[in-house]
């Protein structure tokens, strides 16, 4: 809904999404606009397509996203054990696009949503991406994307990123925390939710 609303105000957007089976099934005409030989250990392509008025960039990385179940859970309702890897790879791809690696296009602003893309502004900061502004929108602060510290070396961030000013969160790697810490600005889905998460009970 947001890209369509922005388009009505003459704001051009491109939305990066994972190549889930349901997404891939909707694609008709696509073009490969970027290739990753080693995206945190997997191969992947960025596909470009226009679907229902949306200008989409799809991360086609079958090793990460072509599987049964939901976006985050398997057919038994359990979290995919490699969710940390799946969404770190998505975030790194987003940061690479933000850094101008997509031929002929670079955004003026990077807008990320929830823990699944929380590492995008972190990768931008620690990779010295040109000073693009970024905003992190929190949809549900209860889901934070916290993972064991043992994954940190696999993220290919510099050692000093594992600190309170970076991605470290109570001894773990916190994806949502990373986004809040490294984005230029933080927003929520509504003014009332912004007030709610400032309270001790819900914050």
pLDDT tens digit sequence for 50-88: 999 999 999 999 999 999 999 999 999 999 999 999 999
- Looking at residue 203, its pLDDT comes to 87
Strands 185-188 and 134-138: parallel
Query: Distance between CA atoms of 168 and 152, rounded to whole angstroms?
Result: 9
- Looking at residue 27, its pLDDT comes to 93
Query: Distance between CA atoms of 106 and 89, rounded to whole angstroms?
Result: 19
On the question of pLDDT at 35 being above 80, the answer is yes
- Looking at residue 129, its pLDDT comes to 67
Calculate helix-pair angle for 83-98, 119-126, nearest 10 degrees. Answer: 50
- Looking at residue 19, its pLDDT comes to 98
> 44, 38 in Cβ contact below 8 A?
no
- Looking at residue 75, its pLDDT comes to 93
Query: Distance between CA atoms of 53 and 185, rounded to whole angstroms?
Result: 28
**pLDDT tens-place string over residues 123-180:** 999 987 667 999 999 999 999 999 999 999 999 999 999 999 999 999 999 999 999 9
Tokens 């105000």 -> residue: 9
Tokens 């030989």 -> residue: 37
What share of the chain in percent tops pLDDT 70?
Answer: 99
- Looking at residue 130, its pLDDT comes to 63
> 100, 130 in Cβ contact below 8 A?
yes
Output the average pLDDT for the chain: 95
- pTM here is 0.96
Tokens 């290919």 -> residue: 156
On the CB side of 161, how many CA atoms lie within 13 Å of its CA?
Answer: 26
């Amino acid at each position: 809904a947001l890209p369509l609303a922005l388009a009505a105000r003459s704001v051009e957007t491109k939305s990066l999404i994972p190549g889930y089976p349901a997404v891939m099934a909707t694609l008709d005409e696509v073009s490969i606009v970027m290739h990753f030989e080693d995206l945190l250990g997997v191969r992947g392509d960025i596909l470009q397509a226009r679907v229902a008025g949306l200008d989409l960039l799809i991360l086609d990385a079958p090793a990460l996203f072509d599987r049964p179940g939901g976006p985050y859970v398997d057919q038994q309702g359990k979290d995919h054990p490699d969710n940390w890897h799946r969404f770190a790879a998505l975030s790194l791809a987003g940061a690479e696009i933000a850094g101008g690696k997509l031929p002929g296009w670079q955004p003026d602003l990077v807008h990320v949503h929830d823990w699944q893309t929380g590492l995008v502004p972190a990768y931008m900061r620690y990779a010295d991406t040109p000073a693009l502004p970024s905003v992190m929108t929190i949809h549900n602060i209860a889901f934070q994307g916290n993972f064991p510290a043992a994954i940190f070396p696999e993220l290919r961030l510099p050692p000093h990123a594992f600190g309170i000013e970076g991605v470290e969160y109570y001894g773990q790697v916190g994806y949502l925390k990373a986004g809040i810490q490294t984005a230029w600005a933080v927003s929520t889905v509504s003014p009332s939710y912004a007030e709610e998460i400032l309270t001790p009970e819900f914050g």
